[in-house]
Structure 1
Amino acid sequence: MSAAVTSPISSPPRPIRIGSRKSQLALVQTHWVQEQLQSHFPNRTFEVHTMSTQGDKILDVALAKIGDKGLFTKELEVGMLNQEIDFAVHSLKDLPTRLPEGLILGAVTERVDPADALVVHAQHQDKQIDTLPEGAVIGTSSLRRLAQLRHHYPHLAFKDIRGNLNTRLQKLDAGEYDAIILAVAGLQRLGMADRIHQTLPSEVSLHAVGQGALGIECRAEDAEVLTLLKALEHFPTTQRCYAERAFLRELEGGCQVPIGVNTVLDGDSLTLIGLVASLDGQRLVKDSITGAAADADQLGIALAHRLREQGAQEILDEIISQMREQP
C-alpha cells in the first residue's frame, strides 16, 4: 500500500509595507498609490506606515535655513534600509536627485498639472498676479518661486510661509498675507481646486523639478516590489522627469536653490526648458534644449552645461555662500 503524498502548503505572499509622511497631502497621495496597487493586485496586502520627517517637525524656520537634501525623505529612507517598510511615496519634487546607496526610484506616476498657483485673500478676488497693489505681501517658502516672482514683480513684498497646506491657507485667510503661492497639484489632490485663483504661466514661474508627479522609492534589490511598482509607471512622465532630475543633479542644486524647469513631450521628441536665478531676482539664466525623449538624461545634462556657460554656476556659488553665512 503506497503512502499518501501530502501537497506542501504555500504560504501567503508577504504584506507590502508602504511608507508615508503624516501630512494630509502625503497620506492622500499614499492612499491613492495603495488603492491603485490593490486594484492591480487584489490578492496582495498593502499596509500604510506613517513617519514624521525633519521637514515636518521644524515649522518655525525657513526651509532654506535648515538644509535641503532629504529634508522630507531621510526618515523614510532609513526605514527602507532597515527593512521596516518596503517602499515610500514622495512628491517627486521633494526627492533628492542622489539617493542613498541601496535605494532607487522604482516608479514615477502620471503627472498632474505641475504649475504654480496664486491663491489670494478675499479682498483681492478681482486681482491677478500682475495687478496686485504695490507692497502686497506674497507668501512662499520656495526660493525658486521667490526669485522668479521678484524678477517679474519687484513691486511686491515677499514673506516666508511654513506649515502644511491647510495651515498656509488659514494664515492667508486670517490676513497675514495678501496672496500665497502653492502647487496646483497639491490643491487638486486635496479637493481644493476652487482655491486656485490663477495658474501662473511658465513665462512667469517655471515649476520645480518633478512637480506634479509622485516618485516611489524602494530598495534596489527588491525585485518583487519593483515588479509590483511597474504597474504604476507612466512612461511619458518618467521621461520628462528624468530629464528634469538630470538637469538638477548636474547643477548640484538642492530643492532650496532657485532652479526651475518645464518639459514638453511631442511624440518621441522632448523639449526641456531650464532656469537658474539669483535670490534677488536680478539675474536670471534661462535656455532650452530639444532632442530624443529616449535621451532624457543626456538632454538634462547638456542643458545644465549650457546654462553653466551662460553664468549659472556663478549664481549658484553665490547662493551657497549666502546660505552658509546665514545664522
Structure 2
Amino acid sequence: MTTLNIATRQSPLALWQAEHIKDRLTALYPDLTINLLKIVTKGDKILDTPLAKIGGKGLFVKELEQAMYDKEADIAVHSLKDVPMLLPAGLVLGAYCERAAPTDAFVSNTYTSLEELPQGAVVGTSSLRRECQLKAHRPDLVIKTLRGNVGTRLGKLDAGEYDAIILATSGLQRIGLDERIRSELDIDISLPAVGQGALAIECRDNDPEVLALLAPLNDNEARLRLIAERALNRHLEGGCQVPIAAYAVFDSATNELWLRGRVGKTDGSLLLKAEKRITLVANADAAADIQTQNEQLANDLGIAVAQELLDKGAQEILQAIYAD
C-alpha cells in the first residue's frame, strides 16, 4: 500500500486528531503517502438546534463513513464519544488509541470552579449527560444549550453569554488551550461520556491491509475499557447524545476492570448509578486468546452494569427523553 486517505471534519480539533494519527502512521511507515480528505458534516452545518433534537452526534460521522463506502477515504479518525454504538454494515473500529484525559473541564473568565458559581449562574453545554449531572449536583444553576466548535463556544463565553461553560478536557489540551481550563470536574460529580478522551479509527472491515497498518496504534488497556463502556451504552440502546455516562478503569494491581455507569433525568431530579468489577484473564494458551477472552469479559461487564441501571428504572427515563 503506497497511499492512505484519511477522512476528517474541518474543525480545528478534528484536524488536530487527523494530523496526530497521520504523524504516528508516518513514523511507522515513512514511505506511505498520507492525505487528508476534509469534509463538512451535517452536524457542522446545523448549529442552532440541540443535537438531541436532530439525530445526535452521529451527524458528525455519516459523511466520513460515506467517503469510506465510496473508497474516497481508507480510514476516518473520530473522537470515540461521537461514534454511534452500532456501526454501519461493512465498517469497523480498526484501532482504539491510547486514551487522553476523560474529564470535563470547567471554563470561566470569572470563576475558578463549579463550587464558586453563584446561585442562578448560567452554564453552557451541549451535553444532556453533563446537564443532568450538573443539575443533580447544583439544581440552582441555569443550563443553556451551547453548540459549535471549541472556538465558537469559547467566543460565546467571552462575549458574556455564559458565566461558565463545560468542555472536554482532552479537546482543549489537544489544540493548545490548556490555559482556558480553570479546573476539572470531579468524576464523582460528572462521570465522563462513553469513550471521552479516546481517539478511534474507523475503516472498512474487508480491508486487511489497512487493518494491519492500524494494528500498532491499538492500546489494549484502553480497548478493554472502551469496549465495556460502549457495551453499556449499547445495551441501554442509547445514542451519543443522551444522559448516559460510563467510565471504566483498569486496576493493574488486581487485574480488575471497574465500570461505573449513570443515567439521569435532564432536570437533575433523578440520577441512577451502578457499578461492577470483573477480574480479567491473566493466563491462556496464547496471547491472542487472552485478548479475545478479556474483550468478551469487558463486553459482559458493560451489559451487566447497564442491566442494573435498567432494573433501577433507566428505560423509563430514556424513553421519556426519546419521546420528547
Per the normalisation by structure 2, the TM-score is 0.93
Letter in 1 for 2:222: T
Question: Residues of 2 paired with 1:130 and 1:262: CA distance?
Answer: 23
Equivalent in the alignment of 1:81: 69
Which of 259, 264, 267 is the matching residue for 1:272? 259
**Structure 1 residue 58 corresponds to structure 2 residue 84:** no
Question: Residues of 2 paired with 1:69 and 1:89: CA distance?
Answer: 14
How much is the aligned-residue C-alpha RMSD, in angstroms?
1.0
State the Cα distance separating 1:69 from its structure 2 match: 5.7
State the Cα distance separating 1:131 from its structure 2 match: 2.2
State the Cα distance separating 1:14 from its structure 2 match: 3.2
Q: How many residues of Structure 1 are paired with residues of Structure 2 in the alignment? A: 307
**Match of 1:207, SS?**
coil
Letter in 2 for 1:316: L
Equivalent in the alignment of 2:143: 158
C-alpha contact 2:80 2:195 (8 A) present in aligned 1: yes
**Structure 1 residue 288 corresponds to structure 2 residue 275:** yes
Equivalent in the alignment of 2:237: 252
After TM superposition, the structure 1 = structure 2 runs for residues 64-103 of structure 1, keeping only pairs within 5 Å, are 64-68=52-56, 70-103=58-91
Percentage of matched positions with identical amino acids: 51
Letter in 2 for 1:51: I
Question: Residues of 2 paired with 1:314 and 1:217: CA distance?
Answer: 32
Letter in 1 for 2:315: Q
Question: Residues of 1 paired with 2:279 and 2:317: CA distance?
Answer: 29
C-alpha contact 1:37 1:231 (8 A) present in aligned 2: no
After TM superposition, the structure 1 = structure 2 runs for residues 22-41 of structure 1, keeping only pairs within 5 Å, are 22-41=10-29
Moved over 3 A (4+): none
State the Cα distance separating 1:317 from its structure 2 match: 1.1
Equivalent in the alignment of 2:119: 134
C-alpha contact 1:80 1:86 (8 A) present in aligned 2: yes
**Match of 1:71, SS?**
helix
**Match of 2:93, SS?**
strand
State the Cα distance separating 1:289 from its structure 2 match: 0.7
Question: Residues of 2 paired with 1:33 and 1:199: CA distance?
Answer: 26
C-alpha contact 2:272 2:312 (8 A) present in aligned 1: yes
Q: Deviations over 1:28-73 (max 9, x none)?
A: 0000000000000111111111111111111111111111162110
**Structure 1 residue 299 corresponds to structure 2 residue 301:** yes
Equivalent in the alignment of 1:321: 323
Letter in 2 for 1:157: V
Equivalent in the alignment of 2:105: 117
Q: Deviations over 1:219-240 (max 9, x none)?
A: 0000000000111111111110
Equivalent in the alignment of 1:107: 95
Letter in 2 for 1:169: L
Q: Deviations over 1:142-194 (max 9, x none)?
A: 00000100111011111111111011111101111000000000000001111
**Match of 1:275, SS?**
strand
Gaps of 5+ in 1: 1-12, 323-327
Larger mean CA deviation between 179-188 and 262-271 belongs to 262-271
Larger radius of gyration: 1
Question: Residues of 2 paired with 1:69 and 1:252: CA distance?
Answer: 15
**Match of 1:227, SS?**
helix
C-alpha contact 2:260 2:274 (8 A) present in aligned 1: yes
Question: Residues of 2 paired with 1:136 and 1:307: CA distance?
Answer: 31
C-alpha contact 2:81 2:194 (8 A) present in aligned 1: yes
C-alpha contact 1:148 1:277 (8 A) present in aligned 2: yes
Question: Residues of 2 paired with 1:129 and 1:149: CA distance?
Answer: 9
Q: Deviations over 1:99-144 (max 9, x none)?
A: 00000010011001100010012x33xx420221111100000000
Per the normalisation by structure 1, the TM-score is 0.92
Letter in 2 for 1:241: L
